Structure 1
């Protein structure tokens, strides 16, 4: 059996490292599919929570019940947003120009949305439930702040710097 020479081994390692780094980055179609798959349950959960929050805002409940329900809804949205962020993080960095910045943009958006829901939960939990009118006025302010923070962080795939990713997001069924 022939021994591997140290220089040959070093050459193999030097050449293998860039190749493995390239192969670790998913192409535009694969990355978009991974991202959309991670975001799909999140979108459904956010839609459901948004609907339930609107119902809470119009349904006659006691301030204590409303406070508990809204805190639970916002906590669920924060948790769902973090799960989506982790899923997008697992997708890695797309093999496109500015892939790092694009992936970071998605992660930053989801972290911002997660934080917006967390702030809303904290805001609701901090409210006094009496007097009722004041409580509901303050809930309105918390929801306004949530909306502002959410809009600042929202995902906008139309502003991607990559034509390949934009095409992938537009064409994949899991992204529709």
Structure 2
């Protein structure tokens, strides 16, 4: 009982702080700290996939490489989404909306990669032409979903956040 009474103020403080907005520079720093490794991981996955695709001689090998690429990209996007969500919301006008737009954009990217991965896995590798035609269609859809997930930063009209993103080294 004594232990519970001692932990109650701490638990209450954590709950109260969880809903608090953070300073624009702190928020921007957290967001950029999440996005920088995400971008690098996506670039690394693409480079690795290009190397593997050059040596893939069969639809089955191509399928295996694409599934790994798309799964890795989906996982990396979810990790970045979670980190941005954990950053909270910036203490600016419309901070909650701005934070949610960042999270939604990364969720849409994650989902685009996930859909493509699932669709590639479903393709039959028995007929080369059918398989590669299917890959082209899936990648076209992925590119469309990815493009539609793009965050319109021009809609973010917070001078404090714009300044923070411009000043923070992680964001350059």
Q: Please report the TM-score for the alignment, with normalisation by the length of structure 2.
A: 0.84
8 Å contact from structure 2 (residues 53, 65) kept in 1: no
1:95 aligned residue (91, 97, 106): 91
RMSD: 2.1
| Structure 2 partner of 1:167 | 163
Uncovered stretches (5+) of structure 2, i.e. residues with no partner: 1-12
4+ aligned runs moved over 4 Å, structure 1: 20-23, 54-60
8 Å contact from structure 1 (residues 158, 166) kept in 2: no
CA deviation map 1:55-105 (0-9, x unaligned): 555554211011011001100000000000110011001000000100000
| Structure 2 partner of 1:133 | 129
Q: Please report the TM-score for the alignment, with normalisation by the length of structure 1.
A: 0.82
CA deviation map 1:86-127 (0-9, x unaligned): 100110010000001000000000000000000010010010
How far 1:51 sits from its partner (Å)? Answer: 2.9
1:120–1:22 Cα change, 3 Å: closer
Paired residues, what number?
158
Q: Could you say which structure has the larger radius of gyration?
A: 1
| Structure 1 partner of 2:30 | 34
Uncovered stretches (5+) of structure 1, i.e. residues with no partner: 1-16
Q: Does 1:67 align with 2:37?
A: no
